[in-house]
Amino acid sequence: MQLDALFKQPQALPAIPKIVHELIDSFNDQDVSIDDIAKKLAADPVLSARLLRLANSAYYHVSRTVGTVNDAISMLGFVTVRTLVISSGLTGGYKSMPGMDLNRFWRYSMHTAAVAGWLARKTGVNADQAFTVGLMHGIGELVMHAGMPEQMLAMDKQLSAMDPRRLSVEASTFGYNYATVGAALARQWRFPVDFVNTIAHFPLPLANQPFDAAAAVIHLATWRARAEHNELSAEELAATIPADVCARLNIKPELILQDMPPLKELCEGLDALIG
């Protein structure tokens, strides 16, 4: 199936709330009314409840209880609230998926997002952007499963979605892979161009000029999240870390292998994203 044909499949695209689309549009609108957004958000009981759970979670360890959407915006800032609401909206975009464990998929994506946010802060990359891209970097996999289930179930029998070879096998089989599809979806939804590029470039972050540091961060985050799901030992982690990507980011592999908190600790409180 051609990429444009995939996007014409009515069941392929995730259903996300209107407020999430408005928040994505706010990236490109300097005059966005935060009050207007807050009112609309407060009117969505599911997203606002999830936002408040996240804002009060151990992940953000705020000094007092966040009781309203306005509290969340004043204590965390609009940019972080936007990140959380877009992320929460994306995870609810598909209710079920033939042949895929959605809970496992979003848990892996959440691990990627948390690692990406942590690494971004260490490397001078925008942490909110890295978190959002980390969460949605694999959404093309869901679009492909929803839009061409037979081909994707056959692919799943060949190798798991958590296999590092998956991107190249999809590309040679279909002419595109889940990163290409995710970037196309981000473009269609009018995410900023740097978001789109980071999703497109993360599989081979050293192959693009100019160098995209955010794509390198996502590359390392996906490696670490996959390693967690595949239960790699400390020796296997050390043997498989993309050292060339670390070097290009001017970090030592030890930063990830030794200094980074365990993923359970790094993600504490983020379960509300996928709950």
8: buried, middle or exposed (CB in 10 Å: 19+, 13-18, 0-12)? exposed
User: 32 pLDDT band (50/70/90 cuts)?
Assistant: confident
Cβ partners under 8 Å of residue 120, min gap 6: 126, 127, 129, 130, 131, 214, 217
Q: What is the DSSP string of 11-37?
A: TTS----HHHHHHHHGGG-TT--HHHH
pLDDT digits (tens, 9 = 90+) for 75-97: 999 999 999 999 989 998 998 88
Give CA–CA dist 125/121, Å, rounded.
6
Say if residue 275's pLDDT is above 80: no
Cβ partners under 8 Å of residue 1, min gap 6: 147, 148, 151, 174
The pLDDT mean for the chain works out to 94
Say if residue 60's pLDDT is above 80: yes
Contact assessment for residue 143 and residue 170, using Cβ atoms and an 8 Å cutoff: no
Contact assessment for residue 223 and residue 240, using Cβ atoms and an 8 Å cutoff: yes
139: buried, middle or exposed (CB in 10 Å: 19+, 13-18, 0-12)? buried
pLDDT digits (tens, 9 = 90+) for 198-257: 999 999 999 989 999 999 999 999 999 999 999 999 999 999 999 999 999 999 999 999
pLDDT digits (tens, 9 = 90+) for 258-273: 999 999 999 999 988 8
Give CA–CA dist 183/198, Å, rounded.
8
Give CA–CA dist 181/90, Å, rounded.
15
Cis status, amide bond into 98, omega within 30 of 0: no
Average pLDDT on 105-120 reads: 96
Say if residue 143's pLDDT is above 90: yes
Domain-wise residue ranges, the chain: 3-15+95-273, 17-91
Residue 52 has phi, psi (to 5 degrees) of -65, -40
Give CA–CA dist 99/80, Å, rounded.
33
Superfamily of domain 3-15+95-273, CATH level 4: Hypothetical protein af1432 (1.10.3210.10)
pLDDT digits (tens, 9 = 90+) for 145-199: 999 999 999 999 999 888 989 999 999 999 999 999 999 999 999 999 999 999 9
pLDDT in the model for residue 224:
98
140: buried, middle or exposed (CB in 10 Å: 19+, 13-18, 0-12)? buried
